[in-house]
A and B are shown apart, each in its own frame.
Chain A
Amino acid sequence: MWTEPFVLRGLTAALIMAVLAGPIGCLMIWKKMAYFSDTLSHSALSGVLLGIMLGLGQNTGVILIVCLIAFLLANVPDRFIIDMNLLLLIIGQTTLSVGVAGLTRLPEIRTDLTAYLFGDVLSIASDDLFFVATNAALCSILLVFNWKKQIFTAVMPDVAQSEGVSLKKQSVIFMLLIALFVSLALKTTGLLLVSALLIIPATTARFLTGTPEKMAVFASFIGIFCVVFGLFCSINFDLPAAPAMEIISAVLFFLCCLLHIRHKKIM
């Protein structure tokens, strides 16, 4: 079963996502921007609509709209009277609604809506896999070259700025990272569960680690475990893959949470 090409493709895509989700999810938690991926993933549905309508293809449409919204959000003034979380919620809900409303008008897409929302990792095609791989390579490059600066700005933004780190540039890079990641998720975890893959393994890793680097690596490993085990459940018990992965990561999280509260420290 595991050697079937479609399973291998799905597994590869999901593994790439899990590895990337570790560090990116950690950055989101540290910057208190956990809702950010939700907003961007919801807006991706509008991107699909835009891509189809303009004839650019879904992937291009998604990247376009996600980057546009990321860029707009990066330019929200510092002490804007509307809280960032509110903006995220409003934009996310609006773009999701526009996407759903628009896509139901396109008869050939209608049946695919569930696949967009909850993912269909086992139906990934070869060229989708190529898209996932190039996108992931770009994310990794951005991550490797900005990792220290990203952490520095998350810990002490003022000091980082005084020592020559551009907050603006780092915030654009951070949003670009999430935008790229979300555009991947359309194919694998589905739009509604992107945040689960980003946030839950990283949060679980917080219980187990003492430095930012370890937390990122642990988050990736937890993600890999959830992906493999989730796919296993999906194939053997005929469950949808993405929700199975999510449930497994949530079980791990609550387990660590309980252990942490009872013993104060696991490791």
Chain B
Amino acid sequence: MNIDKQQKETLIKLDNVCMSFNNKNVLENISFEVQTGQILTLIGPNGAGKTTLLKLILGILSPDKGKIIKNKNIKIGYVPQKTKIPVSIPLTVRRFLCLDGRYDEKTLCDGLIKTGLDIEILDCDIHPLSGGQLQRVLLARTLLKKPDLLILDEPVQGLDPLGEEQFYELLNQINRTKKCAIIMVSHDLHVVMASTHRVLCINHHICCSGTPDEIVNLSEYRHLYGKEPTLAFYQHHHNHLHLPNGRIKYVD
């Protein structure tokens, strides 16, 4: 019963949020809510206001009109779009994970393992890491803070299709095991289909919303993207797995 109650709790609620830059409306009357354990995906064309919406939720920006109500004591973790860490800053993965806190060795190692990374990279320089590895390190850092709500801005940008799939699988895992709600921005609905509960299609206003299955069949969604969604997936079968650290694991 306790769990039931927890699952229904509203973490964050947006009520008619409006935002404009230089007299240009970026967001109009955005209302939605996110509950414990829910995965919400924001989709929409470039410049539709997705990143602005995330920044409003994070409190980096404040809305011109409307309200954003957050659950008391909510911890929000943020993984930004295409992070570039300035190479002028010498940084090991360990120091990066401890940017704003102190964690013991075990917590750090657990954090890396949970995001599919080798513990050996703990004392490695962060700059030569690949895009996929860096994204996982960023996620690991955010998870160390035990967030109730994870916000990701195009987390798979720059990853190859296999990396994308693995990253979404990882997010799913985190969502299941930690009951952590997720709001993420994605470009491609088809890739996130399997791993999201609700989709919010945004083009300055909420264009449409629903479960992924509902969305693809809606005319608003098709109209927004200008054409019938024609995506053919090339499928092939591996006899091995590519682990995020670059190793190959053979499956029997």
Contact = CB atoms under 8 A, between A and B. Distances in A.
Interface of A: 29-30, 32, 148-149, 151-152, 154-156, 158-163, 165, 206, 209-215
Contacts of A163: 78, 100, 145
Interface of B: 55, 58-60, 76, 78-80, 83, 85-86, 88-92, 95-96, 99-100, 125, 145, 151
A210 B92 contact: yes
Q: Which of B55, B79, B80, B100 has the most CB of A within 10 A?
A: B100
B90 A161 contact: no
Given A162-B76, A209-B90, A155 B60 contact: no
Choose among A148, A155, A161 the residue with the greatest number of B CB atoms under 10 Å from its CB: A155
A155 B125 CA distance: 14
Nearest to A215: B90
A157 to B, nearest CB: 9
Contacts of B79: 159
Contacts of B145: 163
Contacts of B55: 158
A154 B89 CA distance: 8
A161 B88 CA distance: 21
Contacts of A151: 89, 99
A162 B90 contact: no
Contacts of A154: 86, 89
B88 A30 contact: yes
B12 to A, nearest CB: 13
15 contacts: A30-B88, A30-B89, A151-B99, A152-B99, A155-B85, A155-B99, A156-B99, A158-B55, A158-B60, A159-B78, A162-B78, A165-B100, A210-B90, A210-B91, A212-B91
B116 to A, nearest CB: 21
B88 A158 contact: no
A80 B60 CA distance: 19
Contact of A158 (B76, B78, B85, B100): B78
Contacts of A211: 90-92, 95
B84 to A, nearest CB: 9
Contacts of A162: 58-60, 76, 78, 151
Most chain B CB within a 10 A radius of its CB, from A152, A160, A162, A215: A162
Contacts of B59: 162
A148 B99 CA distance: 7
Contacts of B76: 162
Contact of A156 (B58, B80, B95, B125): B80
Contacts of B80: 156, 158-159
B85 A156 contact: yes
Nearest to B95: A211
Nearest to B99: A152
Given A155-B86, A212-B90, 14 more contacts: A148-B100, A151-B89, A155-B99, A162-B60, A162-B78, A163-B100, A165-B100, A206-B88, A206-B90, A209-B90, A210-B91, A210-B125, A211-B95, A212-B91
Contact of B89 (A148, A149, A212): A212
B63 to A, nearest CB: 16
A30 B86 contact: yes
A30 B85 CA distance: 10
A25 to B, nearest CB: 11
**Most A C-beta atoms less than 10 A away, residue of B59, B60, B86, B90:** B90
A210 B125 CA distance: 7
Contacts of A158: 55, 60, 78, 80
Nearest to A148: B100
B98 to A, nearest CB: 9
A165 B96 CA distance: 16
A212 B87 CA distance: 11
A102 B92 CA distance: 50
A267 B176 CA distance: 43
B96 to A, nearest CB: 7
7 shortest A-B CB distances, which residue pairs? A162-B58, A162-B78, A30-B89, A211-B95, A158-B80, A161-B60, A152-B99
A162 B55 CA distance: 8
A149 B100 CA distance: 7
A152 B91 CA distance: 11
